[in-house]
């Protein structure tokens, strides 16, 4: 799965977003947590 990473500086959260489906996303304090949530 391809994804892109976005950083929400207001909440200090990383967001991993599936490039094929923009509504499929995961968030986390670290990039690894965001990607793990995206893949779950």
Q: Can you give the residue ranges of every domain in the chain?
A: 3-39
Structure tokens given for 3: 């994804």
Give residue 15's pLDDT. Answer: 98
Band the pLDDT of 37: cuts 50, 70, 90: very high
Structure tokens given for 10: 């207001």
Q: Give which of 19, 17, 20 is closest to 28, Cα–Cα.
A: 17
Band the pLDDT of 1: cuts 50, 70, 90: confident
Band the pLDDT of 5: cuts 50, 70, 90: very high
pLDDT tens across 8-32, in order?
999 999 999 999 999 999 999 999 9
Q: 34 CB contacts (<8 Å, ≥6 apart)?
A: 5, 13, 14, 15, 16, 26, 27, 28
The model carries a pTM of 0.90
């Amino acid at each position: 799965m391809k994804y892109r990473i976005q950083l929400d500086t207001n909440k200090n959260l990383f967001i991993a977003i599936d490039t094929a489906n923009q509504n499929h996303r995961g968030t986390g304090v670290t990039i690894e947590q965001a990607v793990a949530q995206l893949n779950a």
